[in-house]
Structure 1
Amino acid sequence: ARPCSPKYFGRDAMVCVCNATYCDTLDPVVLPAPGTYVKYESSKVGKRMERSEGNAAALNVFSLPEAAQDHLLRSYFSEEGLEYNLVRLPMASCDFSLHAYTYDDVPFDYELLPLLPRAAAMRTRPLSLCASPWTSPAWMKTSESFVGKGTLKGQAGDKYHKTWANYFVR
């Protein structure tokens, strides 16, 4: 990335100038390896769209000992931490997944999402969820596949559409 050409508005307000002779730009975007992510970070101390890579977050959380998982969740969700109050929850596999999977592939997993109750228990205020599906389950799609083209089977109001609606609720 090209460096920022700063313009200050008081001590704490700064923007990067883009005009007829200069504009900061990014290097070409390169997709990361499967199971990793790319982030771009800017800061007041000089970072300007600095690129870095990491591993998929939830997979990393589960690789930690339980006490370290609790410490990490507290640092994000508790009053002594950042107090995050909104979680984007992919409904089954998504574009960040290492492989395609259904909403719950663990037999007899009646708790469904073990990290969420632990995070919510660390908060004194409600935790909001934004659930978003990447795809419906393959058996509900005309293609019967996680990937590629396909639409929800049936028509509005039928058993497929009602089941898909219940998928969101559950």
Structure 2
Amino acid sequence: MLICAKAEQCVARKYDQESIVCVCNATYCDLIEPTTVDQLAGNVARHYISTKEVDIANATYFQVNKNVTYQQILGFGGAMTDSAAIHINSLSEEAQQLLLSAYFSPEGLEYSFVRVPMGGSDFSTHYYAYDDVVNDSTLRYFNLTEEDYLLK
């Protein structure tokens, strides 16, 4: 059985004809209701959907068996790219706190890991690396960039 649920009330901002985003600002970010494994009896999972309409008929279903494990889950998270950090830094301090709480707090997604790309990535404002000198095996020309000091 799958419990399909929406997060708290979304403060929607409309784009185009059908597209919306939930606004997170200095005074509000929508959060999800925390759930522990003990609260889910039998083969029940809670699946949160980010969509305009909750369509149970077309929902993705999971079958959970807590007695069969294939690997240990150490945590969940996402990437902190230069682009993500630039956008977070552009928010007010209050909005930053609410956004980070939405990702890392027990009332949010409960992220426990962040992957930080080494050097530039496809979400950087320009291409860069830590050592662009060919055959520099001693790393004599290794250097950090402004992004490393400000964003990582």
Q: TM-score range by the shorter chain?
A: 0.3 to 0.5
User: What is the TM-score when the length of structure 2 is the normalising length?
Assistant: 0.36
Greater relative contact order (CA < 8 Å, ≥ 6 in sequence) = 2
User: What is the TM-score when the length of structure 1 is the normalising length?
Assistant: 0.33
